Amino acid sequence: MAKRPPNLTYAVDDDPPLPATLLLGLQHVFLIAISLIFPVVIVRSIGGSPEEAEFMVSMSMLAAGVGTVLHALNRRGVGSGYLCPALCGPSFLSASLLAANVGGLHLLFGMTAVAGSFEVLLSRFLHRLRVLFPPEVTGLVVAMVGISVIPTALANFMGRGGADAATEIPELAVALLTLGTMVGISVWSRGRLRLYSVLVGMAMGYLASIHLGILTADHLDLFAEAPLAAVPHLDYFGWSFDVALLLPFMVAITCSSLKTIGDITTCQKINDADWKRTDMKNVSQGILADGLSAVFGGLVGTMGQSTSSSNIGLSIGTGATSRRIAFAIGGILVLLAFLPKLAMVFVVMPEPVMGATLIYSVSFMIVAGFQIIMSRMLDARRTFLVGIPLIMGLSVDALPGLYDGVPPILAPVFSSSLSLAAVLVVLLNLLFRIGISKRVRLVLRPGVDDADSIFNFLERQGSAWGARREVIYRAISATNELFEAVGSAGLAEGDIDLEVSFDEFNLDVVARYRGEPPVLPSRRPDVVDLLGEGPSASLAAFMVTRYANSVRVDTRDGACRVRLHFDH
For 340-403, the three-class secondary structure string (H helix, E strand, C coil) is: HHHHHHHHCCCHHHHHHHHHHHHHHHHHHHHHHHCCECCCHHHHHHHHHHHHHHHHHHHCCCCC
Q: What is the pLDDT of residues 98-143, one digit of tens each?
A: 899 888 999 999 999 999 999 999 998 887 777 888 888 988 988 9
Confidence check: pLDDT of 60 > 90: yes
Whole-number Å distance between alpha carbons of 429 and 420: 14
- Write the burial class of residue 332 (CB in 10 Å: 0-12 exposed, 13-18 middle, 19+ buried): buried
Confidence check: pLDDT of 498 > 70: yes
Confidence check: pLDDT of 537 > 90: no
Percent of the chain with pLDDT over 90: 44
Domains of the chain and any CATH numbers = 18-432 (no CATH), 439-567 (3.30.565.10)
pLDDT for the residue 526: 67
Inter-axis angle of helices 309-318 and 246-270, nearest 10:
10
pLDDT for the residue 192: 82
From 301, 321, 298, select the one nearest 311 (Cα to Cα). 321
pLDDT for the residue 503: 84
From 203, 309, 194, select the one nearest 261 (Cα to Cα). 309
From 412, 419, 418, select the one nearest 95 (Cα to Cα). 412
CB 173 within 8 Å of CB 158: no
What DSSP character marks residue 409? G
Whole-number Å distance between alpha carbons of 466 and 455: 16
What DSSP character marks residue 505? S
- Write the burial class of residue 36 (CB in 10 Å: 0-12 exposed, 13-18 middle, 19+ buried): buried
Distances (CA, A) of 203 to 215, 311, 354, 363, 403: 13, 18, 12, 21, 40
CB 292 within 8 Å of CB 70: yes
Q: How many CB atoms within 10 Å of residue 222? A: 14
CB 466 within 8 Å of CB 376: yes
Whole-number Å distance between alpha carbons of 147 and 98: 25
List b or e across 473-499, with b for residues whose CB sees 16 or more CB atoms inside 10 angstroms: bbbbbbbbbbbbbbbbbebbeeebebe
- The confidence band for 326, taking pLDDT boundaries of 50, 70 and 90, is very high
Q: What is the pLDDT of residues 2-43, one digit of tens each?
A: 788 888 999 999 999 999 999 999 999 988 988 888 888 788
Please indicate whether residue 513 or residue 413 has the higher confidence score (pLDDT): 513
List b or e across 265-290, with b for residues whose CB sees 16 or more CB atoms inside 10 angstroms: bbbbbbbbeebbbbbbebbbbbbbbb
Residues 6+ apart with CB under 8 A from 121: 291
pLDDT for the residue 358: 87
Percent of the chain with pLDDT over 70: 97
Mean pLDDT within 554-560: 89
Residue 285 zone, left/alpha/beta (φ > 0; ψ -120 to 50; rest):
alpha
Confidence check: pLDDT of 532 > 60: no
Q: How many CB atoms within 10 Å of residue 420? A: 23
Whole-number Å distance between alpha carbons of 565 and 475: 9
The number of angstroms, rounded, from the C-alpha of 104 to the middle of its chain's C-alpha atoms is 33
- The confidence band for 162, taking pLDDT boundaries of 50, 70 and 90, is low
pLDDT for the residue 44: 77
The number of angstroms, rounded, from the C-alpha of 243 to the middle of its chain's C-alpha atoms is 32
CB 56 within 8 Å of CB 367: no
pLDDT for the residue 163: 59
CB 386 within 8 Å of CB 138: no
Residue 86's H or E segment, with its range, is strand 86-88
Mean pLDDT within 508-524: 87
User: What's the whole-number average pLDDT of the chain?
Assistant: 88
Q: What is the pLDDT of residues 294-319, one digit of tens each?
A: 999 999 999 999 998 889 999 998 99
- Based on C-alpha coordinates, what's the Rg of the chain? 28
Residue 294 zone, left/alpha/beta (φ > 0; ψ -120 to 50; rest):
alpha
User: 509 - beta bridge partners?
Assistant: 500, 564
Four-CA torsion 377, 381, 382, 385, nearest 10 degrees = 180
Residues 6+ apart with CB under 8 A from 483: 444, 446, 449, 451, 454, 496, 511
Q: What is the pLDDT of residues 423-450, one digit of tens each?
A: 899 999 999 888 787 899 999 988 787 7
pLDDT for the residue 205: 94
CB 357 within 8 Å of CB 401: no
| Strands 506-514 vs 86-88: parallel, antiparallel or unpaired | unpaired
Q: What is the pLDDT of residues 190-246, one digit of tens each?
A: 778 888 998 999 999 999 999 998 888 888 787 778 788 887 777 788 899 988 888
pLDDT for the residue 540: 80
pLDDT for the residue 405: 87
pLDDT for the residue 97: 85
Whole-number Å distance between alpha carbons of 198 and 202: 6
